[in-house]
Amino acid sequence: MHTIKTPFDSCLEVILTAHSKELEIAAAQKLAQIYEQLLKQIVKDERYQDTNPTHVDGGVALSSRHALDCLEDPLRTVRFIAGLYYALKDTLASIKQRPLQILYAGCGPGAPLLLPFLHEFDPDEIEVTLLDLNPTSLQSAKQLVDHLGLDAYIRVYELTDAVTYVHPKDLGLHLVVSETMDKGLTREPQVRITQNLAQQLHPKGLFIPEAISIFAEHTFYGKEPYYDIYKKLQDLPPLYDTADREHLFTIDKTVHNAAPYSFESEPRKVPEDYSLTPDVAVFAEVQIYKERELKKAESLLSNSVCILSLNNVHSATYTLKHTTKGTPEWKLIEN
Ligand SMILES: C[S@@+](CC[C@H](N)C(=O)[O-])C[C@H]1O[C@@H](n2cnc3c(N)ncnc32)[C@H](O)[C@@H]1O
C-alpha cells in the first residue's frame, strides 16, 4: 500500500474525475501554482527558467521555461494526466509482465503528466524512464522526483533525442506518453517521436495520445477562436462556421516507421465564392485516451493554423503537403 503524500494530492482527485471544463480549468491552475512553488523551492539555481530551445531533425524541443508554461494549457494538462492515469490502470490489467515499462518522452522540468499520480501505484509494478533532450529540464525533473520521494519508481533518466532513442529490448515497452506537439502538427516532433517509439511498443501496449487527426478546411482565420495562455478559455468566441472540411490523416501507434513522415492531400477545389471563408487552414483533434479528447481550439495543440489566403491561390485546385523533415510544416502547392 502506498503511503507517500505529495503536494499534488490537493488537486489530484478533481483532475482524475472532473466532468466540467470549469472544474478542469480550476484544477489545472492550482497544479500550475503548485509546480511553480515546488520548483522555486527545490531547484535553487532556477535552471528550469532556461528559455533556449533545441533544434533537432524532426522538430523543436521547447526550453525548460516554455515546457513548464504548457501547464497553463488547462484542458491539455488535466486530460493528459487523467488519460495517462487510466491508460496505466488498463495496461496493468491487460499485460501481466512486471514491472511494466513506462516511457515519458519529453518530460520537461516537472514531468507533470505523470508525477502527480505516480504514488497511487505500487513501485514494484512499474518502472519509469524519464527522457528529455534538454539537460536543464531533466535535471529539474530529477530534483523534483528526489524531493517528492518518488525515486523508487524511476528506472533511469535519459538525456537523449526521442526521435532516435532505442528502449532496451529485454525490458519491453508497455506505455509511452509524449506530448511534443504544436498546433496542426507544426514545429514540434510529435510525429517523428511517435514513429520511433510506437514500433517498439508491446503488442498490447498503449501510446498516449492514442490518435491525432488532422483536418483541412476553408475558414475566416481572423474570426476563429484561438487559445493562448494569456487568454481565458471560457472567453473565446464560438467556433466559426467553416467550409469544405476534410479529414487528411491520423497519427496513432500504427503509424509507419519509414521516417521522415510526410503527407500529400488529394487536390482540393478552390470554391467559386469564398468571401466568407477566404483562408486555407488545418487543425488537429487529439484523442488522448478513450473519451478524453481535445477538440478544435480547446488547447494550444488543437488551435487552427492558417496556411494561405485563397486570394493568393491562382489555380482551380491545390494540394496540401506536410513534412516532418527538419522542422514540421505545411505547404500549399497550386496545381
Ligand atoms: C510541450 S513540452 C511538454 C512538457 C511536459 N511533458 C508537459 O506536458 O507539460 C515538450 C517536451 O518535450 C521535449 N522534447 C521535444 N522534442 C524532443 C526530442 N526530440 N527528444 C527528447 N525530448 C524532446 C522538450 O524538451 C520539452 O521538455
State mean pLDDT over 3-24: 94
Long-range contacts of 325-329 (CB under 8 A, 24+ apart): 325/57, 325/260, 325/262, 326/57, 326/58, 327/55, 327/59, 327/60, 327/186, 327/187, 328/58, 328/59, 328/185, 328/186, 328/187, 328/188, 328/189, 328/191, 328/192, 329/186, 329/187
For atom 10 of ligand 1, the residue with the nearest CA is: 180
Q: What is the CATH number for 154?
A: 3.40.50.150
pLDDT over 70 percentage in the chain = 99
pTM of the model: 0.98
Q: Are residues 246 and 106 in the same domain?
A: no
**pLDDT beyond 80 at 185:** yes
Q: Are residues 104 and 177 in the same domain?
A: yes
Q: Are residues 45 and 119 in the same domain?
A: yes
CA dihedral 9, 7, 4, 130 (to 10 degrees): 100
Cell readout for 120 is 497511487
Q: Kindly state if the Cβ of 113 falls inside 6 Å of ligand 1.
A: yes
Q: Are residues 71 and 192 in the same domain?
A: yes
Q: Kindly state if the Cβ of 71 falls inside 6 Å of ligand 1.
A: yes
Which atom, in ligand 1's list, is nearest to the CA of 106? 12
Q: Are residues 184 and 295 in the same domain?
A: no
Q: Kindly state if the Cβ of 112 falls inside 6 Å of ligand 1.
A: yes
Question: In terms of residue numbers, what domain contains 188?
Answer: 9-208
Quote the CA–CA distance of 94 and 96 in Å, as a whole number: 7
Ligand 1 pocket test, candidate residues 180, 181, 192, 325, most atoms within 8 A of CB: 180
Q: Are residues 164 and 217 in the same domain?
A: no
Q: Kindly state if the Cβ of 74 falls inside 6 Å of ligand 1.
A: no
**pLDDT beyond 60 at 298:** yes
Q: Kindly state if the Cβ of 103 falls inside 6 Å of ligand 1.
A: no
Cell readout for 160 is 537523449
Residue-level pLDDT at 1:
47
For atom 3 of ligand 1, the residue with the nearest CA is: 67
Cell readout for 117 is 499520480
Q: Is residue 53 part of a domain?
A: yes
pLDDT digits (tens, 9 = 90+) for 130-178: 999 999 999 999 999 999 999 999 999 999 999 999 999 999 999 999 9
Residue-level pLDDT at 258:
86
Mean pLDDT of the chain: 96
Q: Kindly state if the Cβ of 214 falls inside 6 Å of ligand 1.
A: no
Q: Could you tell me which of 209, 252, 233, 204 has the C-alpha nearest to residue 296?
A: 233
**Which of 159, 178, 208 is a domain's end point?**
208
Q: Is residue 4 part of a domain?
A: no
Q: Is residue 2 part of a domain?
A: no
Rounded to the nearest angstrom, the distance between the alpha carbon of 188 and the centre of ligand 1 is 9
**Which of 208, 238, 259 is a domain's end point?**
208
Query: Which residue's C-alpha cell is 514531468?
Result: 111
For residue 251, the one-letter residue type is I
Rounded to the nearest angstrom, the distance between the alpha carbon of 203 and the centre of ligand 1 is 25
With cut-offs at 50, 70 and 90, classify the pLDDT of residue 44: confident
Domain count, the chain: 2
Cell readout for 331 is 505547404
